[in-house]
Amino acid sequence: MAFPKSVSICDVGTRDGFQAEHDFVPTAAKIEVIDALVAAGLRKLEVTSFVSPRAVPQMADATEVLAGIDKTRGAEFVCLVPNLRGAENAIRAGARAILLFVSASETHNGTNVNRPIAASLDGFRAIMDLALRHGITVHGSISTAFGCPFEGDVPPAQVASVARAMHAMGIGHIALGDTTGMGTPPLVRAAVEAVRDTCPELRLALHFHNTRGLGLVNIVAGLELGITDYEGSVGGLGGCPFAPGATGNVCTEDMVNLMHELGIETGIDLDALCGVARRVETLVGRSLPGQVMRAGPRGRLSPLDCAVRAIG
């Protein structure tokens, strides 16, 4: 199987990951993690969201986080915005890239943002106009692209329809999100092929959760399709707060390890990234599901004096 020679990986931990944490993560700690991820080689990060602090208290410090991070290393810092007011606040705070999101499932979109899909898409038009006036990059994300916890399977044609509407507005880069980990390789292939048939020039990214242990398997399916953009969360942080049973995102460091083992370049220092994941564990005060940060890369050897020896 011919895989891409290189991929681009976006870490969403300080937004998608931290927003699911019950205890507030201090602003300085968020900035520390973002700067450390950039130092490890990440060149695209979803850093925060300009949402109502009543809805997502964890993101109440979005302006301070955006102001405090080191912007001198050439990374793209993306801020999620739910509506025009959020976009205005993000731009006022200095954001240069924003993310618009909508679900492929009507029911999930209703629980997530309290409006139908058509209303969400209509609301994007004013945001696109605002972004164009200010020279802001706009990315898109389609949640529940591989299944909805309320409706079940989401027809690939529905995913493609939403992608076509967003692309028609001028959004050229869209992530297909597996919001509650319902994706499987056949579903990934069906959704990607449907979107490509509709918008062949659209740049696609894939965003998986590991709810049922298929996150990395789905990434391999994406690689087989030639997808070169992926999203992960440091340590496996995350889980949609608006969908029951949603667990963490695919771990960024586990994904990087997979890419490196397949001979795919990422530009990321895996050892440094694992160090960031371990630091995040201390910040949230609990064990995270990342595996490579605990075991280390496959080639790391253990000293013989650490071996458990049989007795008798």
Any long-range contacts for 49-52 (C-beta under 8 Å, 24+ apart)? 49/15, 49/19, 49/79, 49/80, 49/81, 49/82, 49/86, 50/79, 50/80, 50/81, 50/82, 50/86, 50/87, 50/89, 50/90, 50/93, 50/95, 51/80, 51/81, 51/82, 51/86, 52/82
Catalytic residue among 79, 199, 240, 251: 240
Tokens describing residue 167: 């692309």
Residues 15, 58: Cα–Cα separation, whole Å: 9
Amino acid identity for residue 132 in this structure: L
The residues, ordered by sequence, that sit 6+ positions from 162 with a Cβ below 8 Å of its Cβ are 102, 104, 117, 121, 142
Cα distances (Å, whole numbers) of residue 143 to 34, 42, 55, 196, 219: 24, 23, 18, 17, 17
Tokens describing residue 311: 């007795």
The residues, ordered by sequence, that sit 6+ positions from 74 with a Cβ below 8 Å of its Cβ are 43
Assess whether 306 carries a catalytic annotation.
no
Coil, strand, or helix at residue 210? coil
Residues 258, 262: Cα–Cα separation, whole Å: 6
Q: Are 171 and 139 in contact (CB under 8 A)?
A: yes
Residues 134, 84: Cα–Cα separation, whole Å: 14
Residues catalogued as catalytic: 240
